[in-house]
Chains A and B, each alone.
Chain A
Amino acid sequence: MPLIKDGRIVEDDWTHVPDGEDVPADRPAIISFERWQAERASFEGRNAALGVRVKSGTLAPAIAPDLERFALVAIEFPKFRDGRGFSTARELRERYGFAGEIRAVGHFIPDQYQFAVRTGFTSAEAPANTNPESWARALTEITVAFQPSLDDPQPLSLLRRRLGA
Chain B
Amino acid sequence: MNHIAPGRNAGVYNYDEIDRRFVAERVEQFRAQVARRLSGELTEEEFKPLRLMNGLYLQLHAYMLRVAVPYGVLTSRQMRKLADIGRKYDKGYGHFTTRQNLQFNWIKLEETPEILNELAEVDMHALQTSGNCVRNVTTDQFVGAAKDEVVDGRVYAEILRQWTTLHPEFTYLPRKFKIAIMGSEKDRAAIRIHDVGVFAKRNEQGEIGFAFYAGGGLGRSPFIGKLIREWVAEEDFVAYLEAILRVYNQYGRRDNIYKARIKILVHELGQEKFTAEVEEEFARLRGPKYRLAPEIVAEIRRRFGGPSFEELPPVSAALEQAKAGNEAFARWVAVNVTEHKAPGYAVATISLKPAGGIPGDATSEQMELVADLADQYSAGEIRVSHAQNLVLAHVKQDDLFALWTALEGAGLGTANVGLIGDIIACPGLDYCALANARSIPLAQAISARFADPARQQLIGELGIKISGCINACGHHHVGAIGILGVDKKGVEFYQITIGGDPTLTTAIGDILGPAVTEDEAVDAIEAIVEVYLANRHDGESFLATLKRVGHGPFKERVYAAD
Expressed in whole angstroms, the Cα–Cα distance for A155 and B292 within the complex equals: 9
CB–CB A142/B36 < 8 A: no
Q: Mark B245-258, 1 if CB is under 8 A from A, else 0.
A: 01001100010000
At the interface, yes or no: B296 with Cβ under 8 Å from chain A?
Answer: yes
A88, A118, A144, A162 — most chain B CB neighbours (10 Å):
A144
Please name all residues of chain B whose beta carbon is closer than 8 Å to the beta carbon of A118 when the two chains form the complex: 168
B166 to chain A, nearest CB (A): 7
Q: CA–CA, A87 to B25, complex, Å?
A: 26
Closest A residue to B23 by CB, please name it: A144
Q: Are B169 and A158 in contact (CB under 8 A)?
A: no
One of B268-276, B283-291, B427-435, B506-514 at the interface: B283-291
What separation, in Å, do the CA atoms of A162 and B16 have in the docked complex? 13
B21-46 vs A, Cβ < 8 Å mask (1 yes, 0 no): 11001101100110010000110001
Asked if residues A156 and B284 are in contact (CB atoms below 8 Å), the reply is no
- Residue A123 at the B interface, CB < 8 A? no
Q: Which of B29, B132, B250 contacts A142 (CB 8 A)?
A: B29
What distance in Å separates the Cβ of B17 from its nearest Cβ neighbour in chain A?
10
**B169 and A90 form a contact (CB under 8 A):** yes
Size of the A side of the interface (Cβ < 8 Å), in residues, is 40
| Highest count of chain A CB atoms <10 Å: which of B41, B132, B293 | B41
Chain A residues whose C-beta falls within 8 Å of the C-beta of B170 in the assembled complex: 83, 86
User: Roughly how many angstroms separate A91 CA and B242 CA in the complex, as a whole number?
Assistant: 13
Q: Count chain B CB atoms within 10 A of each CB in A82, A83, A95, A141 and give the residue with the most.
A: A83
Q: Are A115 and B25 in contact (CB under 8 A)?
A: no
Establish whether residues B173 and A83, one from each chain, have CB atoms under 8 Å apart when the complex forms.
yes
Return chain A residues, CB-CB under 8 Å to B167. 146-147
Contact residues in B for A116 (Cβ distance below 8 Å): 168
Alpha-carbon gap, A146 to B163, bound state (A): 5
Q: Quick check: A143 and B25 within 8 Å, CB to CB?
A: yes
Say whether B138 faces chain A, with CB atoms less than 8 Å apart. Answer: no
The answer to whether B172 has its CB under 8 Å from any CB of chain A is yes
Closest Cβ of chain A to B380, distance in Å, is 25
Asked whether A83 lies within 8 Å of B171 as measured between CB atoms, the reply is yes
Q: Cβ of B162 < 8 Å from any Cβ of A?
A: yes
Check: A37 CB closer than 8 A to any chain B CB. no
- Tell me the complex Cα distance, A86–B132, Å: 14
Asked if B219 is at the interface (CB within 8 A of a chain A CB), the reply is: no
User: Nearest chain B CB to A160's CB is how many angstroms away?
Assistant: 6
> B523 at interface (Cβ–Cβ under 8 A)?
no
The answer for the CA separation of A87 and B49 in the assembled complex, in Å, is 19
Contact B290 A155 (CB under 8 A): yes
For the complex, give the distance between the alpha carbons of A119 and B290 in Å: 15
Interface code A58-96, partner B: CB below 8 Å = 1, 0 otherwise?
A: 010000000000000000000011111011101100010
Q: Is the CB of A156 within 8 A of B296?
A: yes
* Pair B46/A80 contact, Cβ less than 8 Å: yes
Q: Is the CB of B292 within 8 A of A156?
A: yes
* List of A residues within 8 angstroms of B162 by Cβ: 146, 159-160
Interface hit among A13-21, A24-32, A106-114: A106-114
Q: Does B19 contact A (CB under 8 A)?
A: yes
| Interface residues on chain B, size class | 35 or more
A42 contacts the other chain (CB 8 A):
no
A2 contacts partner chain B, Cβ-Cβ < 8 Å:
no
Known contacts A83-B173, A87-B169, A137-B32; A144 and B132 CB within 8 A of each other: no
Q: How far is the CA of A62 from the CA of B132 in the complex (A)?
A: 26
- Assess the B291–A155 pair: CB atoms within 8 A: yes
Q: B171 near A115 (CB under 8 angstroms)? A: yes
When distances are taken between beta carbons in the complex, the residues of chain B under 8 Å from A82 are 172, 254
Measured in the bound complex, the distance between the Cα atoms of B47 and A73 in whole Å is: 28
Q: Are A156 and B49 in contact (CB under 8 A)?
A: no
* Residues on B with beta carbons closer than 8 Å to the beta carbon of A158: 296, 299
What's the Cα separation between A83 and B49 when bound, in Å? 12
Chain A residues with Cβ below 8 Å from B132 are 81, 83
Chain A nearest CB: distance from B388 CB in Å? 29
A95 with B284: CB separation less than 8 A = yes
* B46 touches which of A86, A109, A142, A144 (Cβ 8 Å): A109
Contact A112 B172 (CB under 8 A): yes
* B491, CB-defined interface residue at 8 Å: no
Which chain A residue has the least Cβ–Cβ distance from B165?
Answer: A146
In the bound assembly, the distance between CA atoms of A17 and B217 in angstroms comes to 45
Whether A134 is near chain B, meaning CB under 8 Å from some CB there, is: yes
Contacts of A147 in B (CB 8 A): 163, 167-168
Q: Are the C-beta atoms of A156 and B293 separated by less than 8 Å? A: yes
Q: Which residue of the partner chain A has the closest CB to B285?
A: A94
Cβ of A48 under 8 Å from chain B: no
Given A109-B42, A134-B36: A84 and B292 within 8 A (CB)? Answer: no
Distance A134 CA – B171 CA, assembled complex (angstroms): 19
- Closest partner residue, chain A, to B239 (CB atom): A156
Can you list the 5 inter-chain pairs with the closest CB atoms, starting with the nearest? A83-B172, A118-B168, A115-B168, A144-B22, A159-B162
- Beyond contacts A142-B22, A146-B165, A156-B291: 8 other A-B pairs, Cβ-Cβ < 8 A, are A83-B172, A86-B168, A90-B169, A148-B289, A153-B289, A155-B288, A159-B162, A162-B18
Complex A-B: 21 CB contacts under 8 Å: A59-B250, A80-B46, A81-B172, A87-B246, A90-B169, A109-B42, A114-B168, A115-B171, A115-B172, A119-B169, A134-B41, A141-B28, A141-B29, A141-B32, A142-B29, A144-B18, A146-B164, A147-B163, A153-B289, A156-B289, A160-B18
* A residues adjacent to B (C-beta < 8 A): 59, 80-84, 86-88, 90-91, 95, 109, 111-112, 114-116, 118-119, 131, 134, 137, 141-149, 153, 155-160, 162
